[in-house]
Every structure is written in structure tokens, then in C-alpha cells.
């Protein structure tokens, strides 16, 4: 049985009561995983009915996890406090990696024990735009094992986040609020921007006659092979392609072709290529002179 966060040493061991709010994939994952490791978990969202069944007495949870839309966090927190689901003995955590706890939970801070952030560095997708629909993402109780989890908040918020992260066999990353934008930007680069790059590449293949679904499947497989290489040999060694080889002629032909299609796509390629060039220098597989020639090509195409 998990010890209560707030049980005095003289008291008997109590279970840490957790309330997970939100019926999307993040909330469902936390509900499933925390129940699996022994926490008494109550799961609620507006789509599941009233907060309190008729005739029941409100009982504040020890820890509340708000797995709702970013713009709904503050309102949800206020609702839970007003209706007795969170109180002076409660720590309230939210799961939006780009929102500082003081920003979205500051209004309830005087009414609860602590506030914080618990953000799993994983990709979760809804089937549609509604928060009340499950989608892809971790589907089994153990799938958060080994996941980096950003933790932020006051002392009680950090304690609650660390307890849950440890219980789920996650990897804690304790951050101050001023470091959250850098953390979240890194996550977006590796997740949302990768999806965008693949979509751009799918459109390019479509312009030369490849069916969109076929192109998406082919490029997904290609990307998965890159991820496999990164896992196996790491960076910078996993970088491949003309920039890693110092092939300035091929890079120039790419930019010419892309700029004929769209200056925007050409700019995307060039900006990413400049970062790839830095990795290529660190990899050291190509001569510095060849890499410098690639750099010259990229510099000549800046608008």
C-alpha cells in the first residue's frame, strides 16, 4: 500500500487518494497506470456524470491530477475546489508542459496544500478535437515506465509529483518555472515539428505522383528507422544523408527543386539543414572542406 503524502508519523499508514480529471488519453493513462501500482484512484470528467453521486459527501483527494485542455486548467481547478474535490489537504497537479503552475493554478493556491506540474514526455493523440475522446498513446499500465516526467511547483507540489513519478517508474526532471518554455519547446521540436516535417514530405511526394497514404506509410517507416538508429548508436553518428556526407551538389539541387515548388518549403529545408550541418561537423565523417561547401550553399540561399 502506498503511504499518504500527508500522514503524520504517529498516524497509521493511509492510502494516497488520487483524483484524475479528464477523459482524454492522458487522464485515462494516469488512471490506468496509478491504479495498477496500487493507488486508490477516482476518475472523473464532465462526460462521466456528476462530480458527486447523489447522496454522497464530498471528500477532497490527497492528489488531484488535471489532465484537461490547457485553457481549461484554471476553470477546472476552481470548480473542484468550489465543489469539495480539492481542499486544504490536497495537492493539485496539472499536465500541460508549457504552462507554469503559478500561472494556471495561482488562483486556488491559498485554498489547497500545494500546486505543481506533472508532464509525461510522451505523445498523446485524441481521435477528434474533443477532450472527452480517447485516442492513441500509452494503452497499457506499464507503458509510462522509463518516461521522463517534468516536475515543477511549490514544495508540496514537487513532493507529490516525485511520489507519483517514482511509483510509475518514471524519470523525474525537476524544473523551475523559467525553464519550462525551453523544456516544452524541445518536446515540440521532437514531436509536433516532426509530424509537420513528415506532412511536408508527404505533400512533396504527392506532387510527383505518390498516393498520400502510401507516402505517409513509407516516410513513417523511414522515420522509424532513423529513431532506431538513434537508439542504437546515438547522435551525431545516426545522422545520414547528403549533409552528413558533405555533398554540396546534392544539397544545392534539393534547394533548387524545393524553391521552384515553394519558397516556404525551401526555407524549412535550409533552416533544418543548417542544424544538420552542425551535427555533421560533430560526426566527423566528411572532410571539413566538403562540409564548408555545404555551408556556403546554405548561406547563399538565405533570403
Grid cell of 15 as nine digits = 492510502
Mean pLDDT of the chain: 90
Asked if residues 41 and 35 have their Cβ atoms less than 8 Å apart, the reply is yes
3-state secondary structure of 271: helix
% of the chain beyond a pLDDT of 70:
89
pLDDT digits (tens, 9 = 90+) for 3-47: 445 444 433 334 699 999 998 999 999 999 999 999 999 999 988
Q: How many CB atoms lie within 10 A of CB 89?
A: 14
Query: Is the pLDDT reported for residue 135 higher than 50?
Result: no
Distances from the Cα of 151 to the Cαs of 129, 195, 218, 261, 266, in angstroms?
Answer: 27, 26, 37, 44, 38
* Rounded (10°) CA dihedral 169, 114, 73, 30: 20
Position 140 scores a pLDDT of 63
Binning pLDDT at 50, 70 and 90, where does residue 227 land?
A: very high
Position 87 scores a pLDDT of 97
Position 11 scores a pLDDT of 35
- Mean pLDDT (whole number) for 111-139: 72
Query: Is the pLDDT reported for residue 129 higher than 80?
Result: no
Position 8 scores a pLDDT of 44
Beta pairing partners, 152? 117
- Considering only residues 66 and 132, tell me which one the structure prediction assigns the higher pLDDT: 66
CA–CA dist 197, 191 (Å, integer): 10
Position 57 scores a pLDDT of 85
Position 35 scores a pLDDT of 92
Whether the CA torsion 59, 65, 68, 74 is positive or negative: it is positive
Amino acid at each position: 500500500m502506498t503511504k499518504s503524502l500527508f500522514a503524520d508519523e504517529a498516524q497509521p499508514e493511509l492510502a494516497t487518494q488520487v483524483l484524475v480529471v479528464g477523459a482524454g488519453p492522458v487522464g485515462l493513462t494516469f488512471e490506468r497506470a496509478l491504479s495498477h501500482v496500487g493507488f486508490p484512484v477516482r476518475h472523473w470528467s464532465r462526460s462521466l456524470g456528476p462530480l458527486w453521486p447523489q447522496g454522497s459527501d464530498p471528500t477532497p483527494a490527497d492528489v488531484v491530477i488535471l489532465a484537461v485542455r490547457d485553457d481549461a486548467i484554471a476553470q477546472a481547478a476552481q470548480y473542484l475546489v468550489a465543489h469539495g474535490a480539492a481542499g486544504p489537504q490536497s495537492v493539485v497537479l496539472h499536465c500541460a508542459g508549457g504552462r507554469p503552475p503559478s500561472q494556471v493554478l495561482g488562483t486556488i493556491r491559498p485554498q489547497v496544500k500545494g500546486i505543481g506540474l506533472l508532464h509525461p514526455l510522451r505523445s498523446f493523440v485524441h481521435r477528434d478535437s474533443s477532450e472527452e475522446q480517447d485516442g492513441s498513446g500509452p494503452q497499457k499500465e506499464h507503458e509510462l515506465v522509463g518516461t521522463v516526467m517534468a516536475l515543477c511547483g511549490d514544495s508540496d507540489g514537487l513532493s507529490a509529483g516525485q511520489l507519483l513519478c517514482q511509483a510509475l517508474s518514471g524519470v523525474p526532471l525537476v524544473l523551475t518555472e523559467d525553464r519550462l518554455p525551453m523544456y516544452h519547446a524541445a518536446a515540440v521540436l521532437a514531436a509536433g515539428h516532426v509530424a509537420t516535417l513528415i506532412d511536408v514530405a508527404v505533400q512533396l511526394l504527392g506532387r510527383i505522383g505518390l498516393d498520400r497514404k502510401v507516402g505517409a506509410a513509407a516516410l513513417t517507416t523511414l522515420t522509424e528507422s532513423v529513431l532506431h538508429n538513434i537508439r542504437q548508436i546515438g547522435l551525431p553518428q545516426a545522422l545520414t544523408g547528403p549533409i552528413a556526407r558533405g555533398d554540396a551538389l546534392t544539397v544545392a539541387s534539393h534547394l533548387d527543386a524545393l524553391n521552384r515548388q515553394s519558397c516556404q518549403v525551401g526555407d524549412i529545408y535550409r533552416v533544418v539543414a543548417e542544424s544538420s550541418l552542425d551535427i555533421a561537423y560533430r560526426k566527423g565523417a566528411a572532410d571539413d572542406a566538403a562540409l564548408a561547401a555545404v555551408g556556403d550553399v546554405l548561406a547563399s540561399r538565405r533570403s
